[in-house]
Structure 1
């Protein structure tokens, strides 16, 4: 499985993303509500690790600056390979700097960083649908458009094991 360093959202944002997932599930479209163990949290991942030393990762993340909550505007939807659809988040200089710092800290632990999260390759997104068919894409993009414009507020952060949904909250928001 994988370990992700994630931004988590305030209660309003969390509710909005979960409501979007529920609307899509009601239309027969799989979201993180029904993906794998079904205990996923709405989130934005700074980094995903495929192999890691838990102690080293926790220590590196604890040393990151914690400037606090961040607002993330959503501009539309993204379609990734294998039918994955996400909210398309704007990349402010603040968000990019935070993600780059996180990647540098995690790489210092010799963890195996998934290449999609490497500096210069990262596309900030919030997962909406998993494994959608081509016929479902118009339904998904219409559902996303219905909630735009949208600003996400990330006011918490955590390390999350994607295989178990185990979550280790961080003291601040890197």
Structure 2
């Protein structure tokens, strides 16, 4: 499967996103709450790796300068192919630069990144719906619009195996 470098949220922010997932599930829309192994956390992925060596990834990320916890606000919905819908965040130039540094550092170590997370290709998002059919997209957009604007606090980072949900905390926010 894939390994993601994820930004995770404080308890209040995690609950806000999970509440949105619950509202969508109640409306018949599949979310990360019920997707695959059901161990997903609300998150923003900096990168998703298709091939990796865990120790090498951890070492590479540990060598990057740390970031302080920060706020991130959402102002809309993004619809991706194959039925994925997400919260659209406003991100700082510093966050975009950090993503680029992480992608570049991991690519230079021989990791294969998912094409959407390679340097210069990243579209920041926080997934909410996983397999929404076109006719159900207005339900998602309305549910998201009802909670916007929403501000969350990023307070930690982790590596997450998307196939199992296994998580390795990172010592700092890269």
Q: TM-score, normalised by structure 2?
A: 0.97
CA contact (8 A) 2:156 2:172 kept: yes
Match of 1:81 in 2: 81
What does 1:124-143 correspond to in 2, within 5 Å?
Answer: 124-143=124-143
Q: What residue ranges of structure 2 are gaps of 5+ in the alignment?
A: none
CA contact (8 A) 1:7 1:157 kept: yes
State the superposition RMSD in angstroms.
Answer: 0.9
**How far off its partner does 1:50 sit?**
0.4
Match of 2:2 in 1: 2
Match of 2:161 in 1: 161
Runs of 4+ aligned residues of structure 1 deviating over 3 Å after TM superposition are none
**How far off its partner does 1:91 sit?**
3.0
Q: What residue ranges of structure 1 are gaps of 5+ in the alignment?
A: none
Match of 2:113 in 1: 113
Deviations 1:80-102 (A, max 9, x none): 00110000011320110111111
Match of 2:170 in 1: 170
CA contact (8 A) 1:53 1:109 kept: no
- The reply on whether 1:70 has 2:70 as its aligned counterpart is yes
CA contact (8 A) 2:49 2:113 kept: yes
